[in-house]
Structure 1
Amino acid sequence: MSLALTLCLATVFLLAGIGTPVSFSMIIGAIVYLAVSGQDLALAGEQIIQGFYNSFILLAVPLFIVAANIMNAGSITDRLLKFCVAMVGHFRGGLGHVNIVSSLIFSGMSGSAVADAAGVGRVIINMMTKDGRYPPSYAAAITAASATIGPIIPPSIPMVIYALVSDTSVGYLFMAGLLPGLLMGAVLMAFNAYMATKLDIPKEPKTPTKEIPGITLRALPTLMMPGILLFGIYGGITTPTEAAAVAAAYALILSVIYRSISFKQLYHALKESAYSSASVGLVIGSALIFNYIIATENVPTAIAQWIGASDFSPLAFLLMVNLIYLGLGFLLDATTVILVIVPLFIPACRELGIDLVHFGVVTVVNLMIGLITPPYGVLLFVINGTTKIPLAGIVKQVVPFIFVLLAALLVMILSPDLVLAIPRMMGYQG
C-alpha cells in the first residue's frame, strides 16, 4: 500500500470516526491522496462530472425516490393496507402478516427500504399497537425487518447502483430479486405466525366476503404499478431509468385521481425527494473519486490475484465476502459499501466464475439486513424517529428477525439456481 493511499484511508477513518458524514470524509481523503501523490486536485471534480455524465442510469435513483414520497403523501398506502388486511388479516398474527405483505407490494413501487418503513410502516405500526394488540417494540421490529424486502423485489435503488459498478443488466438484476424477495417474506411470515402463537395474540375479524371485490377494485390501480414497470422494462418499451419516470408520474396521477394530495403535500414530497437525492448524490460523487484512487492503486487486480493464489472455492469466497459485508453493515450504509467496497470483489468474482447477477442479489440482501443491524441500523433510527418507540426495545425485538433473514440469505448463497431461475426464463445466459 502506497503512502498516499495509507494517508487517504487514515483521513477517511479519522474524519468518519469523529462524526463527519462518510461522503465528506471520502472527498477530503481523496484530496489528501491527490495532493500527496502529486496529482492535479482538479481530478476530483473531473471524476465526479464524468461519472455522473456517463451514468444515465443514475437518473433512476431520484425518480424512484420521488415516486415513493408521492405515494406516502397520498392515500395510495391506505388502499394498499385495506387490501392486505382483507387478504391475510384474519390469520393468526394477521396484522404482522399485513405488515409483511404490504412491504412486498410496496417494494414493487418504491425500491427503497427507508420509504417503506417511513410510509406504510408508520401506518401499520399504529394499526398493530391500537388497543394493545401488539407490543409496540415488536410492531416496530417486524416493520423494520419487512422493510428490508423493499430493495430486493423490483424496482430497486441499490440494484441500480450495483449495476453501475458491476456493468451488469439492471433488468436481469430486477428479475433475479423476485424469488429471493418472496423467500424473505415467507420466512418472516412463518416467524411472525410462531411469535403470534407465543404471545397469544388474538385473531383479527375476517373481512366479509362480499366486501373483498370492492376493496380489491379500489386497490387495483395501485397493485398494477409493479406490473406496469416490469412490463415496460422487459417488453422493451422503457429503459429502467424511463420506468422510474413512469413510476413517479403514475404515483402522481393516482394521487390526483384519488384527490388525496394537495399542492402543499406535493411540494413537501418533492422537497424531501430533493434532499434525499442530494444526500445519495454526495455519496455517489465521493465514491466516484474513491474508485479512481482504487483503480490507480490497482487494488481490485491485487485482490483477484490473491484470491487466485489462495485457491478459494467460489462458495468459500462468497461466504467470506458476506461475512465482510455483515461486519461493514455495523458501520457503513449500503450505498457506500456498494460504491466503494463491491468493486474490489468484482474481478475476483469473474476469476472464480461467480455469476455477477447472483452476486449482486446476495450483496443487496446482505446489505439490507445491515439496515436493521445495530449500531448503524438506519431503519431502526427511522422507525424510532417516526413513532417514538424506544430504540432499546426495538433492538431487542429485531435480533430474532435478523437471524431469520440470515437463514434466508444462506439459502440464496447456496442456491444460485433459485436466484437466477426467473432471469434464465427471460433469456439470461448466466
Structure 2
Amino acid sequence: MTLILLAIGIAVLLLLRVPVAFAFLGPSLVYMMIEGMSAGLALRQVTNAAASFPLLAVPLFVFLGALANHAGIADRLFRFALALMAEVRGSLGYVAIGVSVGFSWMSGSAVADSAALGKVQIPAMLRNGYSRRFATGVSASSALIAPVMPPSIPAVIYAGLAAVSTGALFAASVVPALLMALGMTVVVWVLVRTQPNLRRGTFDKAELLSSVKGVLLPMVAPIIILGGILGGFFTPTEAAAVGVVYIIFVGIVHRSLSLKAFFTALKETVLTTAAIMIIVTTASLLGYILAKERLPQMLTELMFSITDDPTVFLILTAILMLILGTVIDATAILVLTVPILLPIANEYGVDPIAMGVMLIVSLMIGLLTPPVGTVLFVTAAVSKTRIGEVFKGTLPFIIPMLIVVALLIAFPDAVMSVPAVLGL
C-alpha cells in the first residue's frame, strides 16, 4: 500500500507537469517523514549519489559536445558530407544521418545534436524540395544516434550505476549505433522514392577538397577520445578532458571558437549538468526507498513466477522502458530502474553490459514519443514546425530502432563481441 501511494503521488505530480526531479523528491520526503526518518538521512543519500567518480565524466562530455557545436564542427561535417554526396538522389537525407554519426563521436546528447544539426539540415532540405515532415523526421531521428554511440552520456550514467566498465559499455554500443544508422539509411532510401521533386547538386571536386581540409582536424577528436578509452590509455573522464582541450585547439586553429562562444558553451554545460545531476540525486533517493520496501525482491519473485526464460525477461524489460520513456526523462529512468532490474538480470544470467546497451537504445526511442519527447520539442522549435508534424515524420525511423532493440534481445551475447576482441 505504501508503494502504491508513493506511485500515485509521483504520477499525479507528473500529470501536473511538475519537473521529474521534484516529482520524485516531494513524495520521497513525505514518505521519509511519515516513516520517522531524518532529513539528514535524505541529504546523505542525495550526496552519496552525486559523489560518484564515473559521473565526473558527464560534465566533461557535455562540455565537449557544446564546444564542438560552437566551434562550427557540425557545419564543417555537413559541408563535407554534402560535397561528397551531391549527385545522389535524396542526398540530404543521407547527409543528415552521416553527419549525426560523425558528430555523435564528440557529443553524447541527442538534444544537443538535434538543436545543433537541425538548424543546418532542416532549412537546407526545405530549400531543395524535401517535405517538412521528412526533413524534421530524419533530423530528429538521426540525433538519437548520439546517446548510443560513444561517448554516450547515458552509458556513463549506467556504468556508474551498474559498476561496469565504461570502456566496455562504449565498445559494446558501437555496433548497435551503426545498425541504427544503417536502418535509418534504408528508410531514407525508401522515402525519397516518393519525392520526385528533390533537387540534386553537382559534384564539385574543388569543393570536396576544400571541405576535407575543414574536417581533418575535427575528426581526429574521436580517434583520441575513443582510441584512448578503448586502448586503455585514458579513463573515460581523462579522455573527456583531453577531448575538451583538443576541441579548443581545433577551434583556435580554425578561428571558429571565440571567447564569447567558449563562455556560452561553459554556461550550457553548467545548466545541462545541473539538470542531469538533480535528476540523478532525487531518483537515487526514491531508489533507496524502493529498496527499503523490498521492491527488487518482489519483482524478482514476480518475474520468475511469469517466466524462467531470459529472452522473455528482456522483452518485458524493453516494453517497460518504451512505456516509461514516453513520460519520464531517460536519466531518471536509468537511475531508478537499474538498481532494481540489474539483480534480476543477474538471476537470469544476462550480462550487465548487454543489458545496459538494450536499456539505453530502448529508452532513447522515448525522446521521439509524446508527451515528453524532448527531441520532438527541440526539433519543432528549431524548425518552427508543429509537434504533430515532426512526430509523424519520425514514425518511419522508429521502425529500425525497434528492430535494433529486437536484435539486442535475440542476440545479447553478440553485443559482447567487440569488448571481447578489445580485451575489455
**Range into which the TM-score falls when normalised by the shorter chain:** over 0.9
TM-score (norm 2): 0.96
CA drift of 1:241 comes to 1.1
Q: State the match for 1:272 in structure 2.
A: 268
Cα distance between partner residues in 2 of 1:382 and 1:150:
15
Per-residue CA shift, 1:258-308, capped at 9, x if unaligned? 111222222222112111111111101101211211221222122223323
Give the root-mean-square deviation of aligned CA atoms: 1.6
Q: Distance in 1 between matches of 2:199 and 2:121?
A: 16
Corresponding residue SS for 2:106? helix
> How far apart are 1:56 and its partner, in Å?
0.9
Q: How does 1:99-118 map to 2 (within 5 A)?
A: 99-118=96-115
Return the offset for 1:210: 5.1
Distance of aligned partners of 1:155 and 1:201 in 2 relative to their CA distance in 1, 3 Å threshold:
farther
Q: For 1:174, give the aligned amino acid.
A: F
- CA shift for structure 1 position 190: 0.8
1:56-88 per-residue CA deviation (whole Å, 9 max, x = no partner) reads 111111111111111111221221112211333
- Identity in percent: 36
Partners of 2:118 and 2:383 within 8 A in 1 = no
* Structure 2 counterpart SS, 1:148: helix
Q: Which whole-Å deviations, capped at 9, do the CAs of 1:404-429 have from their partners, x for residues lacking one?
A: 3212221222122442221111124x
Q: CA separation in 2, counterparts of 1:307 and 1:408?
A: 24
Secondary structure of the 2:196 match is: coil
Counterpart residue number, 1:84: 81
**Which amino acid is 2:19 matched to?**
P
TM-score normalised over the length of structure 1 = 0.94
Greater CA deviation, 70-79 or 312-321? 70-79
Query: Partner of 1:351 in structure 2?
Result: 347
Would you identify which runs of 4 or more consecutive aligned residues in structure 1 move more than 6 Å? none
For residue 326 of structure 2, what is the aligned residue in structure 1?
Answer: 330
Aligned CA distance change for structure 1 residues 201 and 241 (closer, same or farther; 3 Å):
farther
1:299-314 superposed matches below 5 A: 299-314=295-310
Alignment of 1:27-426 (within 5 A): 27-53=25-51, 55-130=52-127, 132-202=128-198, 204-209=200-205, 211-426=207-422
Find the aligned partners of 2:393 and 2:226 in 1 and give their Cα distance.
35
3-state SS of 2:270 partner: helix
Q: Which amino acid aligns with 1:338?
A: L
Looking at structure 2, the residues matched to 414 and 402 of structure 1 have their Cα atoms a distance apart, in angstroms, of: 18
Residues 335-392 of structure 1, C-alpha deviations (whole Å, 9 max, x = no match): 1111112321111100000111111111111111110012221101001112212222
Q: Is the 8 A contact 1:7 1:32 kept in 2?
A: no
Assess, with a 3 A threshold, how the Cα gap between structure 1 residues 403 and 312 changes in structure 2: closer, same or farther.
Answer: same
Counterpart AA for 1:17 = L
State the alpha-carbon separation in 2 of the partners of residues 400 and 77 from structure 1.
25
Measured after TM superposition, the shift of residue 45 of structure 1 is: 0.8
Question: Counterpart amino acid of 1:22?
Answer: V
Q: Distance in 2 between matches of 1:18 and 1:292?
A: 24
Matched, 1:13 2:11: yes
Q: Provide the C-alpha distance between the structure 2 equivalents of 1:79 and 1:397, rounded to a whole number of angstroms.
A: 26
**Distance apart, 1:44 and its partner CA:** 1.2
